[in-house]
Amino acid sequence: MRVAVLVTSMKTLAFWQRRLRSSALGAEGGTNLAEFALLLPLLCLLLLGVIDFGRAYYLNIEVSNAAYAGAMYGTQNYTDTTGMQSAALGDAQDVSGMTATATYGCECSDGSSVTPLCGSQPSCAVNYVDYVQVTTSVTYRPIFPWPGIPSSIALQGSARLRAGQQ
Tell me the mean pLDDT in the region 22-51: 80
pLDDT in tens, 94-116: 888 999 999 998 888 777 777 77
Degrees (nearest 5) of the Cα angle 137, 142, 148? 105
Degrees (nearest 5) of the Cα angle 159, 164, 166? 135
Residues 30 and 34: their CA atoms lie apart, in Å, by 6
> What domain count does the chain have?
1
Tell me the mean pLDDT in the region 58-71: 95
Task: Evaluate if residue 22 carries a pLDDT over 90.
Answer: no
Give the structural domain span for 152: 2-165
pLDDT in tens, 134-150: 999 999 999 888 888 88
Question: What letters, b where the CB count within 10 A reaches 16 and e where it falls short, cover 20-45?
Answer: eeeeeeeeeeeeeeeeeeeeeeeeee
**Given pLDDT bands bounded at 50, 70 and 90, which one contains residue 34?**
confident
Residues 132 and 37: their CA atoms lie apart, in Å, by 57
Task: Evaluate if residue 10 carries a pLDDT over 70.
Answer: no
